[in-house]
Structure 1
């Protein structure tokens, strides 16, 4: 009985569990089951690919690549990653990190299957550090724009010539009777269209500070003159 094989599969299961727990805690579209299956299956295929060379090759007659099957894992698992990536109605793409973690889980399984235990464990630690610790540190220590998040806003307002004033007020470039919350919001995308002769619709993508509540943005815009309704969505 090959006990090393069972050790490899169990260790791959553990690393897949770590990746899955991280995604699950963040309520992403990638659960624990998926990452464990990917990691264990990748490990098994890698072991089979390596061991089959020794078992079935005939010296001097057979030319086999011990990592041939493992090479196909990297491309094949891309189909699973593509299924995680979503494109919403507002053209926002989500799920890229989870798709990358699927690909990484397969890589960990390959590494364990090839016998690189410490290397796989170290990379798993780096992955968790990369998605949980470093982004927050960079946002805290880096430029302000790194700590901003995108917010989609749809505004219906009375038809008038005050659209420029509305934009200036949102960006804080115009002093009004409304108390501004001192948190800078940048307009990244702007679309204006007429609903009818009485109303206009303004669609915005705002770059707002992460610490600013979405409700604050809603009430701030709601109090602006000539605004009839506001719809705010955190992207």
Structure 2
């Protein structure tokens, strides 16, 4: 059995490293913040210490076999339930949220297990890499990569005159050319003015802007308005 001082060192480092990973989640107001990650790391470290050192006195008994990796393997499987609880779906927008938080919990569990097994430098280095992935890499992704989050938009194509039926196919083709996923096309009349309402989804705002420019050049179109889903839902 390892000494109490070594146990305290490993558990203490596990808590500190868990807090470091959880700081970024807390700053971005995610449910699994510093306390959650610290507790996950601490628990995994303690389970690993129990698995590796707490049953050695039983080895002298007949028919007793000790597998120090058994509890650790259950940690890997069990942490998935906790991580899965952080994942949820925004059904109105068909988006999955919480994947990064769940992955952070999974990594923190591995860091805690490494601390419990005495791999302190390895756990510290893994924490450094995790913090880099969560914070600097997030900033890089946000500023230098095109947005990959698909949003829903409502386009109002106001018709000055003419046959709107002829415009439907043209509008659909233009949106498809700019890789906009069409949800619905609908002809409406408001205050003696006819318009075509297009519900679509787009990942790249630049392609959406190009589609709007093309729609404004169509014959018979007086103006084109755009609303993000949150905006038009507030006005309903």
Tell me if both proteins adopt one fold, taking TM over 0.5 as the criterion. Answer: yes
**Does residue 1:208 correspond to 2:210, yes or no?**
no
Are 2:155 and 2:224, in contact at CA under 8 Å, matched by a contact in 1?
Answer: yes
Following the alignment from structure 1 to structure 2, what is the Cα–Cα distance between the partners of residues 154 and 140?
26
Are 1:85 and 1:94, in contact at CA under 8 Å, matched by a contact in 2?
Answer: yes
Are 1:20 and 1:34, in contact at CA under 8 Å, matched by a contact in 2?
Answer: yes
Residue deviations 1:103-122 (CA, integer Å, cap 9, x gap): 11111110000000000000
Aligned to 2:29: 27
How many Å apart are 1:152 and its aligned residue? 2.1
Larger Rg: 2
Which of residues 103, 106, 117 is equivalent to 1:103?
106
Are 1:188 and 1:205, in contact at CA under 8 Å, matched by a contact in 2?
Answer: yes
> Normalising to structure 2: TM-score of the pair?
0.73
**Does residue 1:94 correspond to 2:86, yes or no?**
no
Following the alignment from structure 1 to structure 2, what is the Cα–Cα distance between the partners of residues 15 and 233?
38
Q: Which runs of 5+ in 2 are unaligned?
A: 217-221, 232-236
**Does residue 1:231 correspond to 2:228, yes or no?**
yes
Aligned to 1:189: 181
Which runs of structure 2 are paired with 1:8-19 in the superposition (5 Å)?
Answer: 8-19=10-21
**Does residue 1:148 correspond to 2:150, yes or no?**
no
How many Å apart are 1:81 and its aligned residue? 1.1
Aligned to 2:219: none
Aligned to 1:126: 129
How many Å apart are 1:64 and its aligned residue? 0.9
Alpha-carbon RMSD: 3.4
Closer, same or farther: CA 105–188 of 1 in aligned 2, 3 Å: farther
> Normalising to structure 1: TM-score of the pair?
0.73
Q: Which has the higher helix share?
A: 2
Q: Which runs of 5+ in 1 are unaligned?
A: 174-185
Following the alignment from structure 2 to structure 1, what is the Cα–Cα distance between the partners of residues 14 and 187?
57
How many Å apart are 1:23 and its aligned residue? 1.1
